[in-house]
């Protein structure tokens, strides 16, 4: 019996191990990714080895013979050299200039503008504009929103009754824009007169003179400045503004561009009882960001990031997508922004289109091959094959997902197969500052810096959704180990984060 048992043990020991149980498949995938990504290098090593061996076997007579051959073919050498120099010159002169992000700043309101949950609900009740059903709806939204008790609403909303006048809206815009710009100019030591391009985006508040004109007047910017004012483009307009500034920097050499991204709440608070229009009241909060971009080569040494890609997707040709975020009047004539029930499905479709364009630009060849192979198999052999979702974690080190709401962050975390750490910046920004519209992606980037997680060479994906319907992406690469700038939005509270958000 003992001999039989020993025989069984020997037989079992000679079997191959169960790799599915003993090997973590993610390491197999990492090995595959490394092999494919370095395939060209691995193939070139034998070629280089052969060349070096052949070169080492050449004697002085061979080298002299080669020189004579070139000497008697001087015309060919001169023509080849001329073509090479001319081609190199044309390439250098026409290639896109790098765009550097020198620094940016995020506005932080005064403590008296904070809107804790209880105060928000108390003010909503005391205004007398909302019925019990609407109040209960707002309460439920706030409880599930992921917002904390330190978000800010404008001064006009703290009054009883609220005072949403044009003057109050202008004051909010000035406080946010000038507050962010003052910090930006102080941190960078750039003079306002040096700014050649100014792009301002604010979706819902577009007075005359424009917001960009208000900035020109305040800082006495030069008379030939190229200024732009983007309105009605939703929460993704910040990426659009960066894209416009990038294009301008390709045309106008050796200059600075400033992008100001904000939203104005004062005149856009909804005082009716239409449920789809009450959601923005519960999510949107005061905030804004100012970004300094440069195309000067000397700024590379002090810049934080280099702009790598901007990809924009517009689904406005589809009627449902066009109306899913829509400013209109309710039956009582009160103006607000309604959110469609199809919003998340439409956002998912826009995201799919956007990453289909972005993927080939950023994903390693290993992921592209897997995606392409799955697509071929699905088309030819089996239409029920589950599509392969590329692993964007191999392309990006940090993710700045627009803090539009808890559902938006949850969906992208699930669909892109991200971890809690990858969406931490988005969740904590939503908790601390709320939905600050187009500027939220900058608060998220500031969070990552404040945590000391940004290293040289790291790539950041900023992705935002906006009315229209749009999905826009910007990819940045850190040029150094990035530390937070002075007077950052997280300076006094980063040690308290991350916090647990109640489900």
Q: How far apart are CA 359 and CA 369, in angstroms?
A: 12
In order of 209, 255, 265, the CA distances from 170 in angstroms are: 11, 29, 11
In order of 241, 394, 402, 450, 452, the CA distances from 495 in angstroms are: 32, 29, 23, 9, 12
Q: How far apart are CA 487 and CA 108, in angstroms?
A: 9
Q: Are 472 and 313 in contact (CB under 8 A)?
A: yes
In 389-436, DSSP assigns E strands to 398-401
Residue-by-residue DSSP string for 95-164: SPPP-EEEEEEE----GGGB--HHHHHHHHHHTS-S-HHHHHHHHHHHHHH---S--B--GGGGSSS---
Q: Using a CB cutoff of 8 Å and minimum separation of 24, what contacts does 405-413 make?
A: 405/145, 405/146, 405/283, 405/430, 405/435, 406/144, 406/145, 406/146, 406/430, 406/501, 407/344, 408/344, 408/347, 408/465, 409/146, 411/344, 411/347, 411/348, 412/351, 412/463
In order of 237, 321, 377, 394, the CA distances from 353 in angstroms are: 18, 13, 21, 20
DSSP 8-state code for residue 435: B
Question: What is the 3-class SS of 198-244, one letter each residue?
Answer: EEEECCCCCCCCCHHHHHHHHHCCCCCCEEEEECCCHHHHHHHHHHH
Which of the residues are catalytic?
235, 314, 398, 402, 431, 435
- 30: Cα within 13 Å, side-chain hemisphere: 6
Q: Residue 488's closest CA among 450, 439, 438?
A: 450
Q: What is the dihedral of CA 289, 295, 297, 298, to 10 degrees?
A: -50
Q: Which are the contacts of 300, defined by CB distance < 8 A and separation ≥ 6? A: 98, 100, 306, 479
Q: Which are the contacts of 426, defined by CB distance < 8 A and separation ≥ 6? A: 399, 400, 401, 402, 403, 409, 440, 444
Q: Residue 103's closest CA among 22, 186, 42, 173?
A: 186
Q: Are 468 and 408 in contact (CB under 8 A)?
A: no
User: With left for phi above 0 and alpha for psi between -120 and 50, is residue 146 left, alpha or beta?
Assistant: left
């Amino acid at each position: 019996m003992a001999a039989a048992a020993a025989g069984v043990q020997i037989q079992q020991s000679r079997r191959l191990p169960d790799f599915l149980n003993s090997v973590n498949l993610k390491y197999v995938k990492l090995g595959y990714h490394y092999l494919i990504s370095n395939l060209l290098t691995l193939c070139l090593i034998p070629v280089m080895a052969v060349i070096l061996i052949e070169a080492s076997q050449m004697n002085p007579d061979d080298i002299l013979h080669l020189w004579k051959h070139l000497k008697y073919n001087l015309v060919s050498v001169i023509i080849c050299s001329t073509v090479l120099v001319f081609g190199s010159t044309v390439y250098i002169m026409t290639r896109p200039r790098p765009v550097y992000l020198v620094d940016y700043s995020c506005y932080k309101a005064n403590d008296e503008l904070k809107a804790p949950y209880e105060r928000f609900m108390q003010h909503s009740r005391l205004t007398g504009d909302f019925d019990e059903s609407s109040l209960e709806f707002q309460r439920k939204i706030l409880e599930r929103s992921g917002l904390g008790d330190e978000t800010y609403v404008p001064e006009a909303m703290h009054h009883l009754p609220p005072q949403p006048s044009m003057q109050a809206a202008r004051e909010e815009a000035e406080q946010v824009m000038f507050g962010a710009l003052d910090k930006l100019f102080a941190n960078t030591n750039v003079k306002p007169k040096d700014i050649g391009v100014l792009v301002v985006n604010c979706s819902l508040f577009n007075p005359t003179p424009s917001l960009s004109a208000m900035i020109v007047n305040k800082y006495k910017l030069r008379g030939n400045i190229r200024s732009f004012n983007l309105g009605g483009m939703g929460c993704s307009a910040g990426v659009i503004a960066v894209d416009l500034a990038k294009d301008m920097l390709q045309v106008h050499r050796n200059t600075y561009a400033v992008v100001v991204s904000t939203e104005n709440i004062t005149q856009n608070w909804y005082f009716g009882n239409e449920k789809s229009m009450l959601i923005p009241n519960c999510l949107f909060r005061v905030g804004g960001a100012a970004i300094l971009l440069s195309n000067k080569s000397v700024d590379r040494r002090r810049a934080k990031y280099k702009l790598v890609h901007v990809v924009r997707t517009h689904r406005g040709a589809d009627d449902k997508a066009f109306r899913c975020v829509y400013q209109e009047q309710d039956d009582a004539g009160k103006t607000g922004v309604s959110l469609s029930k199809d919003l998340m499905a439409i956002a998912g479709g826009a995201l799919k289109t956007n990453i289909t364009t972005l993927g080939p630009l950023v994903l390693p060849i290993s992921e592209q091959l897997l995606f392409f192979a799955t697509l071929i198999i699905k088309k030819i052999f089996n239409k029920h094959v589950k599509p392969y979702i590329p692993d964007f974690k191999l392309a990006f080190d940090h993710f700045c997902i627009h803090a539009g709401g808890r559902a938006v962050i949850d969906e992208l975390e699930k669909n892109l197969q991200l971890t809690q750490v990858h969406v931490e910046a988005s969740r904590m920004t939503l908790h601390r500052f709320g939905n600050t519209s187009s500027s939220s992606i900058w608060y998220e980037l500031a969070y990552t810096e404040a945590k000391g997680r940004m290293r040289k060479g790291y790539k950041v994906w900023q992705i935002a959704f906006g009315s229209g319907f749009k999905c826009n992406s910007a990819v940045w690469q850190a040029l150094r180990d990035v530390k937070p700038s002075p007077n950052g939005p997280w300076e006094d509270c980063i040690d308290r984060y991350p916090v647990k958000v109640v489900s």
